[in-house]
Amino acid sequence: MTAAPVGADWLAARLGHEGVVVLDASVGANRRKGPWIPGALVFDIDGEMSDAASDIPHTMPSDAQFTERVRGLGVRSADQVVVYDTVGIYSSARAWWMLRAAGFEQVAVLDGGLPAWRAAGGAVSGTPAEPPARAGDFTARVSPGAFLGRDDVRRALGSPGVRVLDARSRGRFAGTEPEPRAGLRGGHMPGAVNLPFGELQDGEGRMLPGARLRARFDELAGGAQQLVVSCGSGVTACVLALGAEVAGYGERVAVYDGSWSEWGLEGAGTPVVTGEA
């Protein structure tokens, strides 16, 4: 499987084949509204695919929790999984990262998501598929360092070999736009660099070609031994992780799971600066 996202034609040629699993990983206002790619199952990042015990949204579940929930979708270790969302490439990258981090290698993102699928003439369904009665056999083992906590990021910000990339909009990064979640300060981590996730895509929600992604990452992070990607709640940070993978930086990437929902909390005691960087 190539690191690049797969196109609608690629999926159309395999849809319905034994061992091909399609997951709708849409979040927020885009979640569960449909339509769905035929046979698609719901990968609910707003719900069961996040740790309900955490005060921070979209936190990665424990290995045991994630194993149970992915098995509940019938996913088996030998399957080919394709994840998509209704926007383009937005929350699908989060599902891709979660599965990859947990040791599931055969997972790809549908380039352009549901809009690209429909534009290519792909059929749609009014309802998602029901999980099969047969449980899956996948066992999650999250790689150490795939997700970082607040203290890890504190240390990373002081390391000359690490670059922290923030996927939020330029206004939120600078502190000139309000945060969508209550109780969060505006601004960014000192030393972080802004790379809005949409800048890695064309105007139709597809990832840019590998050479252009490589040039962008070289410009912002060339020479860094590690990249830490962050956003509002750990979702669009994974678009940066996907772009880094395509650009050849994949082995160096870690996702700050709490992202700004943790770092930016009022009273958190974490340093915040405003203005462009």
Catalytic residues: 231
- In three-state secondary structure terms, 142 is coil
In the chain, the amino acid numbered 195 is: L
CA distance 147 to 274: 25
In sequence order, what are the residues at sequence separation of 6 or more whose Cβ sits closer than 8 angstroms to the Cβ of residue 266? 183, 184, 185
Nearest to 74 by CA among 137, 23, 17, 22: 137
**Can you state the angle between helices 237-247 and 210-221, rounded to 10 degrees?**
110
List alpha helices for 127-179, DSSP H.
150-157, 170-174
Please give the C-alpha separations between residue 89 and each of 10, 27, 47, 231, 232, in angstroms, as whole numbers.
Answer: 16, 12, 19, 15, 16
Beta bridge partners of 147: 255
User: What residue has token string 């849809």?
Assistant: 15
Distance CA 159, CA 250 (A): 19
Q: Which residue is it, tokens 């060339």?
A: 222
